[in-house]
Structure 1
Amino acid sequence: MTTDQAGTATVEAREWLAAAATPGRRWLLSAAGCQALETAFTIVQWAGLALIAGDVLAGDRPSRLGLAVLFGGGLLAAGAAWSSARFQAVGRQRIAHAIRRRLVAGLLPAGQRHTEPDPATAALATVEFADDIADFHAQSLPQRRSAPVSMALILAITAIVQWPAAVILLLASLLIPLNMRLAGLFAKEGADAQAAAGTRLAAVVLDSFRGLPTLRNLGALGRRHSELARAAGDLNATTIAVIRRASLSGAVMDVVITFSIAANATYIGLSLLGYVRIGAAPGMTLFRGLLALLICPMYFQPMRAMAAAFHSRERALSAVPAITGLLVEPSSSAERVPPSGERVTVVLDNVSLRFPAADEPTLQGLNLTVHAGSWTAVAGPSGAGKTTLLSLIAGVRAPSHGTVRWLTPTGASAPWLGGCAWIGQQTVLLPGSIGDNIRIGRPDASRVDIEQAVAAAGLAEVVARLPRGLDTPLGEGGWGLSTGEARRIAIARAFLSDAGLWVLDEPTAHLDADTESQIIVALRNATQGRTVIVATHSAALTRSADLLFGLTDGTVHSVREATRV
């Protein structure tokens, strides 16, 4: 990426980050107003305390006015602080909810996404990055609006009671923006490293859970444990680095704040003792001096909060690319989404795919046409690229070179997730009833639609034997169903989706000969008029196809008519 591209990306990230605050902006602005009121009421509270201190030191009883001002101001300040916290919480919640809603729309196959998102990045963006952005806005937006008002109010009151103290505060505040800028620059690098380390750890954990049986069988659990430990160590190191930088910038700010408070305390103390006298300054009294000292630390509190927001801002900016990369981009006008059930012809034009870490392309120079309504089998040895080819056709991956198109009577489109029915080697069954698991194919399907899908998948006899029919609950992982029966549920789901293209990856794997034969019959019945592309090692499934493609070393080496039985 060139410097200009990096600059443009940074500007776009900042614009997106600013726009993300819209759902909670009204609440956060209300929080800002409450913070300004809290400052005003706290000044009133300290004024009451100064009055009481003056009375006590003079040997008198605290005046009712002083007590009323102290407790009244304290109660009002506490109420404003509570209201501000509530408004911030609501604003934060609304921003995070809006981001997650957009992420869900982008992650689910809703008809516009053309590639499958990285699961680790998706999980981290949904769980953590959305909160990072919401936290930043909840922290910074109220502070940006309330800080100028609060600081100006404190400076004005200090100038009224003792303007030399206000001058000291103003001079000290000139050093704060430089420190805040340095804090932001330090935080940027650390936030990027922390986000990358977090994504890496999430990927290692996710891959470990996915491949746990394989790792155990290969005796590779120890190596995976070491890799997991390294990823966790990297995240710990980057997190500690961010904390160290925040602590360093905070320490610099503390030095400036402490120096200004000490300078004011020295000036006020010497003035009360009569050692210092500035002619144009108002006479120093205990009330004036004590009030100036009490509100002096309040002057720097908004700056401290905004300095902390610099760190959260850089963390939020580091999260923006991960989130925006998962959001759905509108389809171009040249691409038309085929309606459900429309006949689909699949065309691959000089398609190649090379994975980033691979020396050789997995697929190279593929030119294929699968005509609408045909049954096409893709055969070849393991590792030849059959599953990768199916992922290109289904829109799970985008080719490195060439184009994959779906042609229909009403137009053409690039493959998109959710636009075709996919059946793989394993059927995922969720806790719930059989009907609920089938309804995943089309959530708004009626009972009659589900019964038609059951009949098309050859599942009617199985459902009839169950005590509660379609309402029979399934345990986690599909308790009570055989592999073949679970595969029929996958067929029923696909039928219910009414997709014009079916992509099948070893749909009869791990089945005995009788069950395989039944599944093939169910598939042929359910896909009448549909375009079917199936990758398989099964001779029986190959014989059932209309056309056979042979795939070896990522290239098509033969195309012939299949022999139907």
Structure 2
Amino acid sequence: MTSEQAGTATSAVETREWLSGAAAPGRRWMLLTACCQAFETAFTIVQWAGLALVARDVLNGVRPSWQGSGILMGCGLLAAAAAWSTARFQAVGRQRIAHAIRRRLVAGLLSAAQRHAEPNPATAALAAVELTDDIADFHAQALPQRVSAPLSMALILVTTVVVQWPAAVLLLLASLLIPLNMRLAGLFAKEGADARMAASTRLAAVVLDSFRGMPTLRNIGASARRRTELARAADDLNATTIAVVRRASLSGAVMDVVITFSIAANATYVGLSLLGYVRVGAAPGMTLFRGLLALLICPMYFQPMRAMATAFHSKERALSAVPAIRALLVEPESSVEFGDRVPPSSEPVTVVVGNVSLRFTAAEEPTLRHVNLTVPAGGWAVVAGPSGAGKTTLLSLIAGVCAPTHGTVRWLTSTGSSTPWLGGCAWIGQQTVLLPGSVGDNIRIGRPDASRVDIERAVAAAGLAEVVARLPQGLDTQLGEGGSGLSTGEARRIAIARAFLSDAGLWVLDEPTAHLDAGTEAQIIVALRNATLGRTVIVATHSTALARSADLLLGLTDGTVHTVTEAMRV
């Protein structure tokens, strides 16, 4: 075996192990589903026995006995209850699995500090929406069937043996052909699933890129060309999808032939035995009840096989989805990294940036070069510089949104030292995202478990008390889509209140007074000063007013940082 083949084999094993481990959040619910499926099979067998009794009496011209009718109705209700429970438990287990994967995806997509490159948005969207469902669907189908199918088939086979064992032999002979068909179909399905995922990713990328660049495409007259490219990507997805469906249909057709042949053989045997043309010496005598029951439960024997075949096709789609999802996840490099975190608190943080350089790709010039700076605990530091100098990038390094190519960024407190991590500091950007809901709910985003008193304290610290007092329902006033009903300055105060509520010792602010008039800007600066009392604050801004309020003013030009002297501030 070559090294390349060994690597492929190892990757395949890791993929299967990851796929198996992804089922953990819903495993308990899937076991309950399997139990319900087994009970449904048992109740259905008894139900068909009651139906056979009723049918025998009707065909013999006798009034059906109450035993047969009672068994038919009672077990029918029990089987329906078991089927309802099966669907309920299966849906809950599937939801748990999908939710757990999506939570890991969100954490992985946000944890840019451990990435060397940003993930492809189209791949991320496809993974979060479709590929996650492929994995959850597979486990929802396969896990219960893995437990219940052998038990259900054994119950049916034992019942058939007791009723008429030659019919059970015919069932066994037919079932030997199905696993081979499933394996061959699975090999074709795997190839088709890979091709379909690649086509889906390409179509998503084209659509996303088209929306992003619509004004540019219109201005340069490339809309028609992009329309052609989009149509070509859609056609490729259609072709690969049809190929997958065709292969699955072919597999299903082969299985249908085997199942139909088995049922026909059993029906022929039962009919000839009742007519007296066939007699197997060691077999029990054929009666109308035995023959009807054998024919009724014969199709049931193949239902678990059909479900397993469906799960087999789902497995190939899930295996194709795993590499794309794993590429988006960020696993902790070691337990030390997480144990090295400074617990979030209101204690001010000393930020030390040591010889940091950042290069996004190997082909371009570094965005930041050999940056060294120290922001003391409780200090106000302002980073000023022209647009494109790298101010937001520097803030992203300090906040833990991205990692430096070279050098280190450390947070220091009395409890220890740590690398920056998402959620460890308060971040206020140029735009405040306001969601439909009350003012209080929008502030509570900073700490979902905050009490009413905590929110009111944050409102006062952000200078928002007068604004809230003017609102018709105070904190309970509902905001429209995008925060309609509030001015830009009032929205910024809500962002300040959120940050205050998070009680972080480090605040990182990216142009917090952008797009504000001078009067409103002065009010926001006062609110920030009051809310961040005793905290460490690092601000990137073009604002002269903010720069004058800094304890430490830093200039950023051509990717390097220098301290601005008092004389240069004026």
What do the CA deviations read for 1:25-58 (whole angstroms, capped 9, x no partner)?
4531431332231342244145326624xx73xx
What is the aligned counterpart of 2:554 among 543, 548, 552?
548
| Unaligned stretches of 5+ residues in structure 2 | none
Partner in structure 1 of residue 489 of structure 2: 484
Partner in structure 1 of residue 264 of structure 2: 262
Partner in structure 2 of residue 523 of structure 1: 528
8 Å CA contact 1:36, 1:149 repeated in 2:
no
- Quote the Cα distance in structure 1 between the aligned partners of 2:389 and 2:495: 26
Partner in structure 1 of residue 374 of structure 2: 370
CA RMSD in angstroms comes to 4.0
Partner in structure 1 of residue 73 of structure 2: 75
How far did 1:302 drift? 1.4
Residue aligned with 1:507, SS: coil
Partner in structure 1 of residue 83 of structure 2: 85
Partner in structure 1 of residue 53 of structure 2: 48
- Quote the Cα distance in structure 2 between the aligned partners of 1:229 and 1:534: 46
Alignment coverage as a number of residue pairs: 554
8 Å CA contact 1:28, 1:138 repeated in 2:
no
| Unaligned stretches of 5+ residues in structure 1 | none
- Quote the Cα distance in structure 2 between the aligned partners of 1:11 and 1:500: 43
Q: 1:199 to 1:84 in 2, by over 3 A?
A: farther
Q: Tell me, yes or no, if structure 1 residue 296 matches structure 2 residue 302.
A: no
- Quote the Cα distance in structure 2 between the aligned partners of 1:146 and 1:108: 34
How far did 1:230 drift? 5.9
What is the aligned counterpart of 2:315 among 313, 316, 320?
313
Q: How does 1:201-350 map to 2 (within 5 A)?
A: 235-270=237-272, 278-282=280-284, 287-318=289-320, 332=337, 334-350=339-355
What letter corresponds to residue 393 of structure 1 in structure 2?
A: I
Partner in structure 2 of residue 412 of structure 1: 417
What is the aligned counterpart of 1:19 among 21, 24, 30?
24
How far did 1:246 drift? 1.9
What do the CA deviations read for 1:79-138 (whole angstroms, capped 9, x no partner)?
23322222223323432453466468657889x956599677776666655655554444
8 Å CA contact 2:37, 2:83 repeated in 1:
no
8 Å CA contact 1:50, 1:291 repeated in 2:
no
- Quote the Cα distance in structure 2 between the aligned partners of 1:103 and 1:166: 43
Residue aligned with 2:22, SS: helix
8 Å CA contact 1:500, 1:530 repeated in 2:
yes
8 Å CA contact 1:456, 1:522 repeated in 2:
yes
Residue aligned with 1:382, SS: coil
How far did 1:335 drift? 1.1
What is the aligned counterpart of 1:537 among 520, 533, 542?
542
Q: How does 1:350-365 map to 2 (within 5 A)?
A: 350-355=355-360, 359-360=363-364, 363=367, 365=369
8 Å CA contact 2:435, 2:483 repeated in 1:
yes
Residue aligned with 1:416, SS: coil
- Quote the Cα distance in structure 2 between the aligned partners of 1:220 and 1:491: 43
Partner in structure 1 of residue 167 of structure 2: 165
Q: 1:267 to 1:479 in 2, by over 3 A?
A: closer
- Quote the Cα distance in structure 2 between the aligned partners of 1:19 and 1:337: 30
What letter corresponds to residue 177 of structure 1 in structure 2?
A: P
Residue aligned with 1:20, SS: helix
Q: 1:406 to 1:5 in 2, by over 3 A?
A: farther
- Quote the Cα distance in structure 1 between the aligned partners of 2:107 and 2:174: 55
Q: How does 1:393-412 map to 2 (within 5 A)?
A: 393-412=398-417
What do the CA deviations read for 1:218-271 (whole angstroms, capped 9, x no partner)?
988777766766665555444433322221211111122122233334444555
Residue aligned with 1:21, SS: helix
Residue aligned with 1:254, SS: helix
Residue aligned with 1:490, SS: helix
8 Å CA contact 1:93, 1:134 repeated in 2:
no
Q: 1:418 to 1:121 in 2, by over 3 A?
A: farther
- Quote the Cα distance in structure 1 between the aligned partners of 2:25 and 2:44: 28
Q: State percent identity of aligned pairs.
A: 67
Partner in structure 1 of residue 37 of structure 2: 32
Partner in structure 1 of residue 64 of structure 2: 64
What letter corresponds to residue 371 of structure 1 in structure 2?
A: V
8 Å CA contact 1:504, 1:535 repeated in 2:
yes
Q: 1:450 to 1:133 in 2, by over 3 A?
A: same
- Quote the Cα distance in structure 2 between the aligned partners of 1:191 and 1:202: 16
Residue aligned with 2:340, SS: coil
How far did 1:506 drift? 1.9
- Quote the Cα distance in structure 2 between the aligned partners of 1:200 and 1:23: 37
- Quote the Cα distance in structure 1 between the aligned partners of 2:265 and 2:219: 70
8 Å CA contact 1:187, 1:245 repeated in 2:
yes
- Quote the Cα distance in structure 2 between the aligned partners of 1:345 and 1:200: 45
Q: How does 1:466-481 map to 2 (within 5 A)?
A: 466-481=471-486
Q: 1:389 to 1:215 in 2, by over 3 A?
A: farther
- Quote the Cα distance in structure 2 between the aligned partners of 1:214 and 1:519: 36
Q: 1:90 to 1:288 in 2, by over 3 A?
A: closer
8 Å CA contact 1:379, 1:537 repeated in 2:
yes
What do the CA deviations read for 1:520-563 (whole angstroms, capped 9, x no partner)?
343334333332222233344344431313142xx316444465
What do the CA deviations read for 1:311-330 (whole angstroms, capped 9, x no partner)?
23344455556667558867
What is the aligned counterpart of 1:439 among 433, 444, 460?
444
- Quote the Cα distance in structure 2 between the aligned partners of 1:279 and 1:192: 54
- Quote the Cα distance in structure 1 between the aligned partners of 2:220 and 2:456: 44
- Quote the Cα distance in structure 1 between the aligned partners of 2:221 and 2:75: 63
How far did 1:6 drift? 0.9
How far did 1:426 drift? 0.8
8 Å CA contact 1:353, 1:361 repeated in 2:
no
Residue aligned with 1:64, SS: coil
What letter corresponds to residue 458 of structure 1 in structure 2?
A: G
8 Å CA contact 1:28, 1:88 repeated in 2:
yes
How far did 1:174 drift? 0.9
